[in-house]
Amino acid sequence: MLEIVEMRSVRQFSLLIVSAVCLVVSGCAPQNVIHNNPSSSPVTPQPTVSARPLESPASPETPVAPDVAQEAEADIWTQMQQGTGYVVLLRHAQTVAGTGDPPGFQLNDCATQRNLSEAGREQAARIGQVFRDRNIPIHQILSSQYCRCLDTAKLLNLGEVEPSPMLNSTFTNRANEAEQTAQVRQRILDHQNTPGVIVMVSHFVNIGDISGINPPSGGAVIMRTNQQGELEVAEQIRDW
C-alpha cells in the first residue's frame, strides 16, 4: 500500500513539473490536471481569450436625418423661387354660373362673355397674394384674351399682363387647338433656362391639352422642361 501511494505521489509530482515547464515555455495549460482526490474528473479546458479587444456587435444602420437642402428642394415654392424654367398654367378664377360663353360673344366686349363672380375676383386676389408672400420672381404674365382670364391676371397684381391669343379657349373652336397647344408648349420649352416664373392664365380645355390635367377654377398646373428636353408636371395646386 505504501508503495502504491508513493508511486501515485511521484506521478502527481511529475505532472506538476511538466505543467510548470509548459506554462513557462509556451503559455499552454495542462489538458488533464489530476486533483488530489483520485475520484475527481479532469478539468475541462477553457477557451483561449484573445488579447484583441472584442468588437461591438453590429447594430442596425441609424436612419440619416433628411438633408435640409433636400427638403427645401422638394418644396415647389422654393424651386420656383430659386430655379429656372417654371411655368404656372393657371385656370381663370371662379365665374358666374354657366358653361362656355353666350352665342355671338365678342372678345372685345366683356358684357357678351361669362365673367368672374365676386368670389372669383376675391380668389384671384388671394392667389396673387400667395405668390407675393413667397417672394416668387415673376418673369412674365400672359393671359387669354377672354375677359375672365384678363381680369384674373390683373387681379393677381403681379405685374403687367400681356394678352396672348395662344391661350384663348379652344372649347368652341377646335380648329386652332393643335396650333395653339404647340405654341404654348414651345413657349415653355424656350423658358427652360430662364429664371423667374411665367404665369399663363388660360382655360380648362387648354390646360388639359398641355398637361393632361384639368384643374378647377383658380387651380394651377406648374410645368417645366426636364433634362431630357420634355415637358413635365412639377406640381398641381387645386386650392389656395
Q: What is the CATH number of the domain that holds 149?
A: 3.40.50.1240
User: Nearest Cα to 226, choosing from 89, 88, 90, 86?
Assistant: 86
pLDDT value of residue 28: 45
DSSP state of 44: P
Same domain, 130 and 207: yes
Per the structure, the complete domain to which residue 7 belongs is given by: 1-41
Same domain, 37 and 90: no
Q: What is the mean pLDDT of residues 75-103?
A: 94
User: Nearest Cα to 169, choosing from 192, 196, 195, 148?
Assistant: 148
Residue-wise pLDDT tens digits, 146-185: 999 999 999 999 999 999 999 999 988 788 999 999 999 9
Contact 188, 231 (CB under 8 A): yes
| pLDDT classification of 192: cutoffs 50, 70, 90 | very high
Q: Looking at the domain assignment, is residue 223 inside a domain?
A: yes
The burial class, CB within 10 Å (0-12 / 13-18 / 19+), for 148 is: buried
pLDDT value of residue 99: 82
Same domain, 23 and 113: no
Q: Report the predicted TM-score, pTM, of the whole model to 2 decimal places.
A: 0.70
pLDDT value of residue 100: 81
Instruction: Provide the mean pLDDT of the chain.
Output: 79
Same domain, 76 and 5: no
Q: What is the mean pLDDT of residues 33-58?
A: 38
User: Nearest Cα to 200, choosing from 135, 129, 152?
Assistant: 152
Residue-wise pLDDT tens digits, 93-119: 999 998 888 888 999 999 999 999 999
Contact 130, 240 (CB under 8 A): yes
